[in-house]
C-alpha cells in the first residue's frame, strides 16, 4: 500500500511540477520583447520534450554505438578495440543460427500476420455488424496480453511429458490421438520447427491488430468503385484483388512495417519459452544474455548495434513516408 | 453504405469465423480453466477434460490464494500498479505541449525535429538501455540519491520512450482541430499558453485517453525495463511470472493463476475502453 501512495504522490507531484515548469517558462518569455518572444516561444513548448528525448534516447543510443567499439574494464574505464567486439560476436557458436532465426522471424511473421488479419477483416465484413463486433473483440483480445503471459498460455499448448506419463499439453494430446508419440516440441530443430512454434505466438498476439486496421481500410473503400467492378462482371475474388486490395495497399504496408519492427525486436517470447536454447536465439535475446547474464558489455553492444543498423532502413522509410503523407495533406 | 456489410450476410464467412475465433480463444480459455483446477488434477490431465465432464472436476480457487500470498503476487500486483500509473500519466502533459508546438506554431527546425521524432518511433529501446543505466548509477554516486532499483527509474525511462508515439498520436489529432478556431482565439488576444490550456487540451481529451490506454498496457506488460531498472527489489508481475516459469515445483495451476491475475487488468481496460483503444490504433500506432 505504501508503494501505491508513493505512486499517487508521484502522479500529483509530477503533474504539479510539470505544469509549474511550463507556467514559469511562459511567465519568463512574456517579459521579453514581442519579437524575441515570438521566436523563443515555440521552443518553450517543444524544448522540454527534446531535452527528455535527448537525455534518454538519442545520447544513450549514440553511446551504445560508441561502446560497441570499446572494451570495458571492471573499473568502468574503456579502451578502443575497433571491430573486436563484432568479431567476437560473429565467432560465437550461436551467431549463424541467430542470424537465420532473425531472418525467419522477419520473413514469416509479418507476412502471415497481415494475411490472416486481412482474411479475418474480409470475412468479418460479411457477417452483419453485431457478430462482426464480437468476432473482432475475440481476435483483438490477445493484443492486450503481455509476452510473458502469452508464454505461460502457450506453454500449456506445447507442454511435453515423456511417453507413458500424463500429457497436459494440447498439441501432444492431439498428436497422440493422431497416432504419434509425445514430442518435446521445443527441441525439434530440423527446419527450425521450434522457431515456427514461437512465431505462432507472436502471430496469435498481433493478428488482431492487423485485422482492426485493415478492416477500417476495407470499410473506407468507396462503394462506386466496387459497383463499377460488378457491372463489368468481376467475381468476388477479382473485386477483392483488383479493386479492394490496391485501394487499401498503403494500410497493408503500414501494418506490415509495424509487425516487421515487432518481429525484428522480438525478445520476451524467446526468453520466456526457450531462453534461446535449442537454436532459437535472436538478436535482442543475445543482447540481454550477453549483458545481464554473462556481463560481456562489448558483445552485448555489438548485438544492439546490429539491431539498430537493421532497423535504420525501416526508420528512413518511415520518415520519407511521413513527409510524403504530410505534403499531401 | 460501403463494401457489402449488412447487405449480404454470408453463412460461409460466419462458420469460418466461428471456427477461427474458437481457435483464437482456446489458449486463453485453457489458461483460465487450468487456474481453477486442483493441483493434482492440473498435473495429470489436460484442461479440456473439464469441458467434457465439468461436474466431476474439483473446482478450486486455492491456486489464486496461494500465488497471491506465497509467491507474493499480491505485492507484485501493487508494484506493477506503482510503476504503471505514474508512467502512464506523467508523459501526457509533456507530449501534449510538444504536440501543440508541432501543430500550431511555426519555428525553425520544426520539420527536422518532427522527422527525428518519427524516426525514433521505431528505434529499439535496447539501444539506450545500458548507457541510461550507467547514467543513473553515476548520478547516485555523485548525489547519493538512489534512482536505479526505484520506481522512479522506470517512470523516467517509460516516459521518455513514450514521447515519440504520444506526440505522434496527439499531433495527428490536433491537426483535425480547425485552424479558424485557433485564429479566432488569437484575434481575441489569447496567448498560446491560454489557447493550449483552455482550448486545445480540453478538445484533445479523446486522443489523450487513447494514448493513455496504450501506454498503460505497454508499461503493464513490459518486462525488460522493469527488469533492468526496478529489478528484484520490487518485482513487477511480469518479473515474478517469469521467475515462476523457471520453477516447475509450483505446478501448472499456480502459474496459470498468476498469469490470469496479470492479464486481468489489461483485459478489464480493453473491454471497458475498447472504443478509445481502437481509435488510438487507427490514429497511427507504430510501436
What pLDDT digit, counting tens, does each position of A128-165 carry?
888 898 999 999 899 889 999 999 899 889 988 888 78
B21 touches chain A (CB under 8 A): yes
Percent pLDDT > 70 in chain A is 100
- pLDDT tens track for A280-297: 999 999 999 999 999 899
B51 touches chain A (CB under 8 A): no
Q: Given this model, what pLDDT does residue B81 score?
A: 93
Q: Given this model, what pLDDT does residue B2 score?
A: 46
- pLDDT tens track for B228-286: 999 888 899 999 999 888 776 566 778 888 999 999 999 998 888 887 877 777 765 44
Q: Given this model, what pLDDT does residue B233 score?
A: 84
SS3 string, chain A, reads CHHHHHHHHHHHHHHHHHHHHHHHHHHHHCCCCHHHHHHHHHHHHHHHHHHHHHHHHHHHHHHHHHHCCEEECCCCCEEECCCHHHHHHHHCCCHHHHHHHHHHHHHHHHHHHHHHHHHHHHHHCCCCHHHHHHHHHHHHHHHHCCHHHHHHHHHHHHCCCCCCCCCCCHHHHHHHHCCCCCCCHHHCCHHHHHHHHHHHHHHHHHHHHHHHHHHHHHHCCCHHHHHHHHHCCCCHHHHHHHHHHHHHHHHHHHHHHHHHHHHHCCCHHHHHHCCCCCCCCCHHHHHHHHHHHCCCHHHHHHHHHHHHHHHHHHHHHHHHHHHHHHHHC
Q: Given this model, what pLDDT does residue B286 score?
A: 44
Cα Rg for chain B, rounded, in angstroms? 24
Which one of A126, A143, A258 has the shortest CB-CB distance to B4?
A126
Q: Given this model, what pLDDT does residue A105 score?
A: 97
Fold designation for B63-282: MetI-like fold (1.10.3720)
* Chain B residue with Cα closest to A243: B3
- C-alpha distances in Å from residue A60, one per residue of A275, A301, B158, B282: 27, 12, 14, 31
- Set of cell numbers at residue B262: 496479470
Check residues A35 and A207 and name the one with the higher pLDDT.
A207
Which one of A140, A222, A301 has the shortest CB-CB distance to B130?
A301
**Domain boundaries, given as residue ranges, for chain B:** 1-60, 63-282
Rounded to the nearest integer, the mean pLDDT of chain B is: 87
* Chain B residue with Cα closest to A220: B2
B37 beta partners: B59
Question: Count of A–B CB contacts within 8 Å?
Answer: 341
Check residues B81 and A164 and name the one with the higher pLDDT.
B81
Cα Rg for chain A, rounded, in angstroms? 26
- pLDDT tens track for B216-226: 999 999 999 99
Q: Given this model, what pLDDT does residue A302 score?
A: 96
Answer yes or no: do B31 and A139 touch at CB < 8 A: no
Q: Given this model, what pLDDT does residue B53 score?
A: 74
Contacts with A140 from chain B: Cβ below 8 Å? 270, 274, 278
Answer yes or no: do A57 and B10 touch at CB < 8 A: no
Q: Given this model, what pLDDT does residue B284 score?
A: 55
pLDDT at B165 over 70: yes
Answer yes or no: do A60 and B17 touch at CB < 8 A: no
Q: What is the mean predicted confidence (pLDDT) over B121-135?
A: 93
pLDDT at B52 over 80: no
Position B1 confidence tier, pLDDT thresholds 50, 70, 90: very low
* Chain B residue with Cα closest to A216: B282
Q: Given this model, what pLDDT does residue B287 score?
A: 40
Q: B43 CA to chain A: closest CA distance, Å?
A: 7
Check residues A277 and A116 and name the one with the higher pLDDT.
A116
Contacts with A166 from chain B: Cβ below 8 Å? 43-45
pLDDT at B5 over 50: no
Query: At a CB cut-off of 8 Å and minimum separation 6, what does B83 contact?
Result: A7, B151, B154, B155, B158, B219, B226, B230, B236
* Chain A residue with Cα closest to B35: A153
Rounded to the nearest integer, the mean pLDDT of chain A is: 91
Q: Which of B12, B49, B94 to mutate to test the interface with A (most CBs of A within 10 A)?
A: B94
* Chain A residue with Cα closest to B18: A135
Position A44 confidence tier, pLDDT thresholds 50, 70, 90: very high
Position A190 confidence tier, pLDDT thresholds 50, 70, 90: confident
Answer yes or no: do B130 and A67 touch at CB < 8 A: yes
Answer yes or no: do B256 and A308 touch at CB < 8 A: no
B105 touches chain A (CB under 8 A): yes
Q: What is the mean predicted confidence (pLDDT) over A274-283?
A: 91
Q: What is the mean predicted confidence (pLDDT) over A191-209?
A: 94
- Per the CB < 8 A criterion, the answer to whether B39 and B63 are in contact is yes
Q: Given this model, what pLDDT does residue B203 score?
A: 92
Answer yes or no: do A46 and B85 touch at CB < 8 A: no
Q: What is the mean predicted confidence (pLDDT) over B9-21?
A: 89
Amino acid at each position: 500500500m505504501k508503494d501505491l501512495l508513493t505512486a499517487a504522490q508521484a502522479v500529483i507531484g509530477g503533474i504539479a511540477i510539470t505544469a509549474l515548469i511550463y507556467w514559469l517558462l511562459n511567465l519568463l518569455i512574456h517579459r521579453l520583447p514581442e519579437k524575441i518572444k515570438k521566436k523563443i516561444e515555440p521552443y518553450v513548448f517543444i524544448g522540454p520534450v527534446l531535452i527528455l528525448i535527448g537525455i534518454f534516447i538519442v545520447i544513450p543510443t549514440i553511446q551504445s554505438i560508441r561502446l560497441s567499439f570499446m572494451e570495458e574494464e571492471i573499473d568502468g574505464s574503456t579502451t578502443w578495440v575497433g571491430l573486436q567486439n563484432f568479431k567476437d560476436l560473429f565467432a560465437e557458436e550461436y551467431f549463424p543460427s541467430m542470424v537465420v532465426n532473425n531472418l525467419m522471424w522477419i520473413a514469416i511473421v509479418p507476412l502471415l500476420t497481415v494475411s490472416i488479419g486481412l482474411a479475418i477483416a474480409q470475412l468479418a465484413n460479411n457477417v452483419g455488424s453485431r457478430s462482426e463486433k464480437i468476432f473482432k473483440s475475440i481476435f483483438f483480445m490477445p493484443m492486450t496480453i503481455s509476452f510473458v503471459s502469452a508464454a505461460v498460455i502457450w506453454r500449456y499448448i506445447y507442454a511435453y511429458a515423456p511417453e507413458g506419463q500424463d500429457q497436459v499439453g494440447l498439441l501432444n494430446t492431439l498428436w497422440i490421438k493422431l497416432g504419434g508419440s509425445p514430442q518435446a516440441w521445443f527441441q525439434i530443430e530440423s527446419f527450425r520447427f521450434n522457431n515456427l512454434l514461437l512465431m505462432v505466438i507472436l502471430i496469435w498476439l498481433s493478428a488482431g491488430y492487423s485485422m482492426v486496421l485493415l478492416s477500417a481500410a476495407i470499410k473506407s473503400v468507396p462503394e462506386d468503385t466496387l459497383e463499377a467492378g460488378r457491372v463489368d462482371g468481376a467475381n468476388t475474388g477479382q473485386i477483392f484483388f483488383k479493386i479492394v486490395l490496391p485501394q487499401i495497399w498503403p494500410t497493408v504496408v503500414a501494418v506490415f512495417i509495424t509487425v516487421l519492427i515487432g518481429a525484428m525486436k522480438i525478445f520476451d517470447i524467446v526468453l520466456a519459452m526457450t531462453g534461446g536454447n535449442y537454436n532459437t536465439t535472436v538478436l535482442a535475446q543475445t543482447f540481454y544474455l550477453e549483458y545481464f547474464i554473462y556481463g560481456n558489455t562489448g558483445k552485448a553492444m555489438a548485438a544492439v548495434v546490429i539491431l539498430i543498423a537493421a532497423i535504420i532502413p525501416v526508420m528512413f522509410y518511415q520518415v520519407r513516408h511521413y513527409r510524403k503523407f504530410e505534403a499531401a495533406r | 453504405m460501403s463494401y457489402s456489410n449488412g447487405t449480404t450476410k454470408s453463412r460461409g464467412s460466419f462458420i469460418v469465423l466461428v471456427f477461427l475465433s474458437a481457435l483464437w480463444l482456446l489458449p486463453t480459455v485453457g489458461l483460465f480453466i487450468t487456474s481453477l483446477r486442483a493441483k493434482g488434477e492440473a498435473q495429470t490431465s489436460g484442461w479440456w477434460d473439464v469441458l467434457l465432464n465439468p461436474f466431476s472436476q474439483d473446482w478450486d480457487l486455492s491456486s489464486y490464494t496461494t500465488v497471491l500470498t506465497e509467491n507474493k503476487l499480491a505485492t507484485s500486483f501493487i508494484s506493477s500498479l506503482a510503476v504503471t500509473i505514474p508512467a502512464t500519466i506523467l508523459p501526457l502533459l509533456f507530449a501534449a505541449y510538444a504536440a501543440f508546438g508541432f501543430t500550431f506554431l511555426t519555428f525553425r527546425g520544426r520539420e527536422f525535429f518532427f522527422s527525428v521524432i518519427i524516426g525514433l518511433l521505431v528505434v529499439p529501446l535496447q539501444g539506450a538501455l545500458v548507457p541510461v543505466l550507467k547514467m543513473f548509477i553515476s548520478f547516485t554516486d555523485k548525489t547519493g540519491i538512489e534512482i536505479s532499483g526505484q520506481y522512479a527509474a522506470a517512470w523516467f525511462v517509460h516516459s521518455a520512450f513514450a514521447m515519440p508515439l504520444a506526440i505522434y498520436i496527439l499531433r495527428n489529432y490536433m491537426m483535425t482541430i480547425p485552424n479558424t478556431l485557433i485564429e479566432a482565439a488569437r484575434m481575441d488576444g489569447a496567448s498560446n499558453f491560454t489557447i493550449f490550456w483552455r482550448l486545445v487540451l480540453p478538445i484533445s481529451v479523446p486522443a489523450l485517453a487513447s494514448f493513455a490506454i496504450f501506454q498503460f498496457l505497454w508499461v503493464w506488460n513490459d518486462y525488460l525495463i522493469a527488469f533492468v531498472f526496478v529489478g528484484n527489489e520490487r518485482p513487477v508481475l511480469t518479473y515474478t511470472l517469469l521467475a515462476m516459469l523457471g520453477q516447475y515445483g509450483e505446478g501448472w495451476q499456480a502459474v496459470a493463476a498468476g498469469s490470469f491475475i496479470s492479464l486481468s487488468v489489461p483485459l478489464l481496460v480493453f473491454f471497458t475502453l475498447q472504443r478509445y483503444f481502437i481509435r488510438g490504433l487507427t490514429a497511427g500506432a507504430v510501436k
